[in-house]
Every structure is written in C-alpha cells, then in structure tokens.
Structure 1
Amino acid sequence: MPSPEERRRQVQEEWNATHGTPTFDPNSADGYGPNQELPPPCLRFSNVEC
C-alpha cells in the first residue's frame, strides 16, 4: 500500500494529466475562479487523505 504522500502525488499527477492546472483567481471565494472544476479535497487541503 502506498504511503499517504505517494498517494497524494499519484492523485495530483492524474488530476493534472486530465484537467491541467486551474487558474488562480484571488477575487474568487474558493480561489479558483468561475466555471472551473475544483481539484479533489486531498489536493486542496493538507489534512485530508486521498
């Protein structure tokens, strides 16, 4: 079983391969701007496991 860090890296690589890097929008409540699919919670928050 992969470690949490390895799993997080794997999920990040899969997300970037299919979605690319979201555009940061500092004026948006979630920081990602309108009409952008958010990354999974484990990539946005350090206390959530993938």
Structure 2
Amino acid sequence: MNKIKVIDAYYRGLLTMEECAQILGFDLRQLTDMIESCMLDYPTIPVERA
C-alpha cells in the first residue's frame, strides 16, 4: 500500500496512529518522527485523492 495514502487515512481519522504504524511496518516512535519530519520539510504535501 502507498505510504502517502496510509498517512492520509490517518490524517483523515480513518486509522489510528497505531494502525498506521502497523500497516507501514514501523514502531510508533518511528512513525511519529517520520510524520514530524515530513511536516517540517513539506508542510503542504499534495495528496492524491481516489
């Protein structure tokens, strides 16, 4: 599954952070760090809507 789509589902409230981390194969701390890093680098990431 596309990582951006999984993170978008988390942002839209369709997944919990724990579910998101499990799908992506990260532990919760890794996911939190990745999301924070992405938001600093790309505050307005365009997300493809299906």
TM-score of Structure 1 vs Structure 2, range by shorter chain: 0.3 to 0.5
TM norm structure 2: 0.37
* Structure with bigger gyration radius: 1
